[in-house]
Chain A
C-alpha cells in the first residue's frame, strides 16, 4: 500500500508552505523529512494526516483518493513536537483513546495498552495523571498512543525537539530500536526533523525540504555524500557546510591569499564563481596552517565550535575537544581539501569527493 502525492501545493498567504511537493512512499519504509524550521515539514505531515487541505495536488493511499477521506477515518497516527495528550485522562486512558474510538473489546484494549506501555518503558505509570509526568514521559505517552493504533501511516513531527539533550539521545536510541524491530511490515513511517545527525542515525530515505519545495530525495548516505546543491549541503550539515568563494586555476585553489593544491576531483573545474564547500569537521588545527582570527568560540557538549574569519571569508570549525579561545585570538588551521565540494555559481553541485557528477 503506497502513499503517493502529486504536486501538493499550499499557499495560505503570499508564501508557499508547500510548493509542488510530490513523493512516493512505500509500505514498510522509514522516510525522513529534513528541513529547517518553517520549511513546510509540519504542513506536509498535517496534509498527510488530513488536518490541512492542500490548495492543489492530490494524495493517494492504497489507490484511494486520500483527500476525500475525513481525518478520523484515515488510519494515521501522529506524534507532535509539543507533547500532546489529553489532560483530563490518565496515562492508561490516554493510550486507550484511539482504541476506544473503534469497537474493540475492553480486554483487547487492556492488552494492547499494556504492550504499548511496555515498549515505551512506562509500565507502572498507567494510573498517573499526565501533568505528573516529565516532558520525556509525556512524549512517550503520545508515542505509545500512536503505536497502539497499528496505523498504516505513522507521522512523527520533530518528536525530540522539545526535549533536553540527554533525553533526546535516549529517546532517539529507543526510536531506532522500535523502528528497527519492524513496527509492522506494512507501516509507512514518516519522521520530520531539523537535525542532520538524527537523519543520518535513522538512516532512512531522506526528503530534503526547503521553503515548501523538495530539493533532493535519496538515502541518507547519498544526501550526506552528494548533496545536489548548496542549499542541501547547508541543511544536511550541522553546523552548516562552510562555503568559500575561491578560484581554481592551474590545479590550485586560491582564496584570501591562501593557495592550496586542488585535489583530483576539483582540478578540472575552471569556471568563474565557483564555491568551495567544506564541512566544519574537515578543517583541523595545525601549527603549520593558515592563520585565521577567532570571532566566536562556543562549546557544545564535548566539542568546540570555532567561528573564524580571514578577510571576507568566514568559516566554522568543529573540534572534538573542549578548548578555550578568546575573541580575536589567532589560530592556524589546515583544510582537508580532498574532502572539499565544489558548487556552480547557481548553487548546483559541480563535484563531490564521493564521486558525485564529474568527480
Chain B
C-alpha cells in the first residue's frame, strides 16, 4: 500500500510508544554512559566506566540480584503450589464454593503497602501478636532482624499477598478445561491421584507456564514489601536489585551508575525469563 499520509495516522500511537518506552530506554542507555551524580549533574560522557565498576567492583549488586532470584523463585513456587491446591479445591463441587472463591481473593484486594505495615506489626519482635502467641512455646524468632529469618518473613508476606492472583489464573484455567478427558480417565482406571498427575496437571501445563511467567516478572519487581517490612535490612540481607538501584539512584543520586545497573538488570531479566519460559515449555509440554 502506498499511502502518503500513513505516518500522520501512525503518529499518535507512535508518539505514545516513543514517549513512554523507546525514549526512556534510550535515555537510560545514554545516562548509563555518563557520570551524572549530585556533584556533577549532567550528561557528560565517561564511556563504559559505570559498567566496568558494576562488573568488577560492586559485589553488593550481584548479591542483591541473587537474593532477588532466590526470593522470587521461592515465592512463585510457593504461590503456584498453594494457588493450585486452593483452585483445585474450589473447582470441585464443594459446599460454600462461591464463598471460598471470594474469600481466597481478599488479600489481592488489599493495598500492599498498608498490608505490609500490618504484617510488620504482626511480626514485631516484642510487641507483635505472632511472638506473643509463640511465647506459649517459649520461642521468639527475630522475624525482622535475623538475616536468615527476615528473608522468610518477606517470602511469607509476598506469598500471602499474591497467591490469590495465581489462584485466580489457575482457577480460570481449571474451569476452562474440557470435562471429557476426566470422564475417560476415571473409566480407564485412574484413581483421583493419578487422574491429577496424568490428566489435570498436563492439561493445565500451558496455563501454568503463563501464570508462572507472569508471577515471576511481577515478583522480580519486589520492592514495596521489602521497603516497608525491613528496608533491606538487617544490613543488606533482604535487599533486592530494585531496592539497591533505588538506593543508588534516588537516595545517593548516582544517576549514571543506577542507570547502568537498571539496563544490565533489564538485559539479564529478558534473557533469563526467556530461558525459563523455554525450559518450562520443554518440561511441561514436551515440545
Contact = CB atoms under 8 A, between A and B. Distances in A.
Interface of A: 49-51, 70-73, 75-78, 80, 82, 84-89, 97-98, 100-102, 142, 145, 149
B188 A98 contact: yes
10 contacts: A72-B187, A77-B188, A78-B187, A80-B180, A86-B181, A86-B199, A97-B190, A101-B194, A145-B184, A149-B188
B184 A86 contact: yes
| Interface of chain A, main secondary structure | loop
A97 B198 CA distance: 9
Given A84-B181, A88-B205, 9 more contacts: A70-B191, A71-B186, A73-B189, A75-B189, A82-B180, A87-B181, A87-B203, A88-B203, A98-B189
Contacts of A85: 181, 184
B187 A77 contact: yes
B186 to A, nearest CB: 4
Interface string B170-202: 000000001011011111111110110011001
Contacts of B178: 87
A185 B181 CA distance: 29
B206 to A, nearest CB: 9
B286 to A, nearest CB: 9
Choose among B180, B188, B191 the residue with the greatest number of A CB atoms under 10 Å from its CB. Answer: B188
Given A87-B203, A88-B203, A97-B198, A72 B181 contact: no
Interface residues of B, number: 20
Choose among A71, A76, A82 the residue with the greatest number of B CB atoms under 10 Å from its CB. Answer: A71
A131 to B, nearest CB: 12
A155 to B, nearest CB: 8
Contacts of B180: 80, 82, 84
Contacts of B191: 70, 72, 101
Given A82-B180, A84-B184, A86-B184, A72 B190 contact: yes
Contact of A100 (B192, B198, B205): B198
A76 B187 contact: yes
B187 A49 contact: yes
A76 B202 CA distance: 24
A78 B189 CA distance: 11
A228 B158 CA distance: 72
Contacts of B189: 72-73, 75, 98, 101-102, 149
Contact of A51 (B187, B188, B203): B187
Contacts of A75: 189
What 10 A-B pairs are tightest by C-beta distance, nearest first? Answer: A98-B188, A101-B189, A84-B180, A71-B186, A88-B202, A84-B184, A78-B187, A72-B189, A72-B191, A86-B181
Nearest to A73: B189
A98 B187 CA distance: 8
A97 B187 contact: no
Contacts of B190: 72, 97, 101
B281 to A, nearest CB: 13
Contacts of B202: 88-89
B232 to A, nearest CB: 44
B184 A51 contact: no
B181 A145 contact: no
Interface string B204-219: 0100000000000000
Contacts of A101: 188-191, 194
Contacts of B192: 72
B1 to A, nearest CB: 36
Contacts of B194: 72, 101
A234 B48 CA distance: 90
A51 B203 CA distance: 21
A106 to B, nearest CB: 16
A282 B183 CA distance: 44
A84 B183 contact: yes
A145 B183 CA distance: 13
A75 to B, nearest CB: 8
A80 B189 CA distance: 16
A77 B187 CA distance: 6
Contacts of A80: 180, 183-184
Contacts of B186: 50-51, 71-72
Nearest to B178: A87
Nearest to A86: B181
Contacts of A100: 198
A99 to B, nearest CB: 9
Choose among A75, A77, A88, A89 the residue with the greatest number of B CB atoms under 10 Å from its CB. Answer: A88
A113 B191 CA distance: 21
Contacts of A98: 188-189
B76 to A, nearest CB: 23
B180 to A, nearest CB: 4
A260 B192 CA distance: 66
Contacts of B205: 88
A341 B203 CA distance: 55
Contacts of A51: 183, 186-187
A84 B199 CA distance: 13
Contacts of B198: 97, 100
A86 B200 CA distance: 11
Given A84-B180, A100-B198, A145 B203 contact: no
Contacts of B185: 86, 97
A89 B181 CA distance: 11
A73 B187 CA distance: 9
A78 B182 CA distance: 13
Contacts of B199: 86
Contacts of B187: 49, 51, 71-72, 76-78
Contacts of A86: 181, 184-185, 199
Nearest to A78: B187
